[in-house]
């Protein structure tokens, strides 16, 4: 191989390796859930990294008003900790309720609810994900498959903002 051809090929290999490393090292700095589309997209800046098909609660339209209403809250919250020991395969907590949510619930004389998570499938039932993910089956959480949950946790650091909206 001639030296004239070797250097461009070597440069191409180095650039390709660096770009691949950059993609693999990419972490989300914002998560957006669009409930009407049943989609959750991870972003780094304005660039989408990954989009997941999600399951929500049985009554997904509108902002969560009270405990037990089967709704996922709407607004911007923080993904504030990872929970490994629950009834669902791995999860990350959404910082709902905030002060406004608590005040609104108090004015109505109800509990705002809480413990909203992005999580995988119910323990021991992950094999049902191809069927379960076709329906809204949570109590107001955001559900993805177990494999997707592993990927989500590798891409989304604790402290990442999450915006949840209908459209």
Q: What is the pLDDT of residues 21-62, one digit of tens each?
A: 444 579 999 999 999 999 999 999 999 999 999 999 999 999
Q: What is the pLDDT of residues 60-90, one digit of tens each?
A: 999 999 999 999 999 999 999 999 988 889 9
**Predicted confidence (pLDDT) at residue 111 exceeds the cutoff of 60:** yes
- Grouping H, G, I as helix, E, B as strand and the rest as coil, residue 125 is coil
The 3-state secondary structure of 61-111 reads CCCCCCCCCCCCCCEEEEEEEEECCCCECCEEEECCCCHHHHHHHHHHCCC
- Residue 34's closest CA among 60, 59, 69, 67? 60
| Structural domain boundaries in the chain | 27-165
Mean pLDDT of the chain: 88
Q: Please report, for residues 8, 138, 154, 163, the alpha-carbon distance to residue 141 in angstroms, rounded to integers and kept in the order given.
A: 51, 6, 20, 13
Active site residues: 119, 141
CA angle, residues 49, 149, 43, in degrees to nearest 5: 20
Q: Would you give the DSSP letter of residue 136?
A: -
* CA within 13 Å, CB half, 110: 14
How large is the average pLDDT for residues 87-94? 93
- Contact of 112 with 64, CB cutoff 8 Å: yes
CATH number of 27-165: 2.40.440.10
How large is the average pLDDT for residues 13-24? 50
């Amino acid at each position: 191989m001639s030296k004239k051809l070797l250097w461009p090929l070597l440069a191409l290999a180095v650039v390709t390796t660096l770009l691949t490393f950059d993609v693999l090292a990419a972490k989300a700095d914002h998560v957006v859930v669009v409930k009407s589309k049943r989609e959750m997209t991870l972003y780094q800046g304005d660039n989408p990294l990954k989009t997941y098909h999600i399951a929500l609660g049985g009554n997904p339209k509108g902002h969560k008003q009270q405990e037990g209403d089967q709704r996922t809250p709407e607004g911007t919250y923080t993904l504030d900790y990872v929970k490994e020991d629950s009834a669902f395969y791995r999860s990350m907590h959404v910082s709902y309720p905030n002060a406004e949510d608590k005040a609104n619930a108090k004015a109505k004389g109800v509990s705002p609810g809480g413990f909203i998570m992005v999580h995988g499938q119910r323990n021991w039932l992950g094999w049902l994900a191809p069927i379960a993910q076709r329906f809204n089956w949570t109590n107001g959480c955001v559900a993805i498959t177990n494999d997707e949950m592993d990927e989500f946790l590798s891409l989304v650091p604790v402290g990442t903002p999450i915006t949840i909206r209908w459209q």
